[in-house]
Structures are given as structure tokens and as C-alpha cells.
Amino acid sequence: MADLHPDNPYAPERFPDRSKHVEFPEEAKKRFDWILTRYPNKEAALLPTLHLAQEVWGWISPETVHYVGELLDLSPATVFGVVSFYNMYNQKPVGKYHLQVCTNLSCMITRAYDIYDHLCEKLSVNPGQTTPDGLYTVTEVECLGSCGTAPVVQINNDYHENMSVETMDALLEKLK
């Protein structure tokens, strides 16, 4: 059978496992209630709720899509439409350290691709893949808005600026 395109809606991993019970922990429920008070309707709370879900679980699974839909009275298709549109919502689990290398023009001409290629080779991963030990995921991202301190690598929520292959290696040593 031919390989299904990763976005294929019929791919088995798109359907939620009904036996998995997914619910926000108490802290997150409180945050969610607060989020709802800041928007005029439930649909407008979708992006912040997905950010919250990703903070809790690290990625947006099919079960999460259905859960968020129930919370906001939105169909799973609507929720997934938003998840798949925006770059930052992870549709697959990511490693403990998500290494996002900017390779847009200003970073590219200050040698960002050297860092990106080096990471893929050193960790033996293809772009977007996670190392088998679950520690690192390497992705190439678009402009991070830090061009004055190029090259820039975003690791989880933090920007690491003025990077080079050497400083990247040194940083990896500390990220275990």
C-alpha cells in the first residue's frame, strides 16, 4: 500500500483512542476557566486553550483535539483545522528539548544552516524527528524575530542567540 500523506485524514493515528481518558488536571482547569473570561465567546478561546493543552501534554493528540472540542463546543474538525494551520502546535510528541533552528535569510547568511545540518548529523535525525532516547527533536523554523543576534535557536520556550556550531555543542552538553 502506498505511503499515506502525513496529513491524510484517514490515517489511523488521526482517530482518538476512546479508551484513553483525557482531561485537564485541576491547575489547568482553573487556567482554562480564567481564559474563558477573557474572550467574548468560546471559539475565540481556542488558540489559548490549545497552548494550555500543549503545556500540559507536550503535544496535541487526537484525544486532545476531541477534548478541547468538547470544552469549547467546537467540532473536532474545527479544532483540528486550527491545530494543523499553526506551526507551533505539535501534532506529534516532541523530545524533552525541542531544538528549533531559524534558517531564514539573516540567520542563513550568518551560517545557521551549519548549525542545523550539524545537529541533524550529530543526533542522527531527519528534520522534524526525535532522537530514540526522546531527548531532542530538531526542526527548521522560520524567522524568530531575533535577526540582530543571528543565528538563533529556540529551545522549548527560550531563545538562544548568537549561536555557532561550537556554542550549540556546548549547550547540548548541558541539556540532558
Partner 1 sequence: MEQIKVLLANIDKPNSTSIDTYTAGGGYEDARKALTTMKPDEVIQLVKDSELRGRGGAGFPTGNKWGFVPKNAPKPTWLLCNADESEPGTFKDRVIIEKDPHLLIEGMIIAAYAIGSNPMSYIYIRGEFHYGATVLDKALEEARDKGFLGKNVFGSGFDLDITVARGAGAYICGEETGLIESIEGHRGQPRVKPPFPAVVGAFGGPTVVQNVETLACVPLIVRNGAEWFKSFGTPKNTGPKLYCVSGNVKKPGVYEFPMGITIRELIYDHCGGITGDRKLKAVIPGGASAPMLTPDEIDIPLNFDALMKAGSMLGSAGIIVLDESVCIVDAVWRLAKFFAHESCGQCTPCREGTNWLESVLDRIERGEGRPQDADLLLDMSDNIGGKSLCALGDAAIGPVISSVRKFRDEYLHHIQHQSCLPGTTRYRRLDMPIAAH
Q: Site residues (CB under 8 A) for partner 1? A: 6, 38-41, 43-48, 50-51, 81-82, 85-89, 103-106, 108-113, 116-117, 120, 126-128, 139-150, 154, 157-159
CB of 10 to partner 1, least distance (A): 18
- In the bound state with partner 1, the residue whose beta carbon lies nearer, of 14 and 111, is 111
Q: Which residues contact 69 (CB under 8 A, 6 or more apart)?
A: 75, 76, 78, 79
- Residue 112, SS3 per DSSP: helix
- In the bound state with partner 1, the residue whose beta carbon lies nearer, of 20 and 84, is 84
CB of 57 to partner 1, least distance (A): 15
By C-alpha distance, which of 100, 151, 108, 157 is closest to 130?
100
CB of 172 to partner 1, least distance (A): 19
Half-sphere exposure of 167 (CA within 13 A, CB side): 10
- In the bound state with partner 1, the residue whose beta carbon lies nearer, of 88 and 175, is 88
In order, the DSSP letters of 125-151 are --TT-B-TTSSEEEEEE---S-GGG-S
* Residue 139 parent element (H or E): strand 136-141
- In the bound state with partner 1, the residue whose beta carbon lies nearer, of 19 and 157, is 157
What the block records as the C-alpha cell of 140 is 527548521
CB of 19 to partner 1, least distance (A): 29
Distance CA 160, CA 171 (A): 9
CB of 21 to partner 1, least distance (A): 25
What the block records as the C-alpha cell of 67 is 477534548
- In the bound state with partner 1, the residue whose beta carbon lies nearer, of 147 and 171, is 147
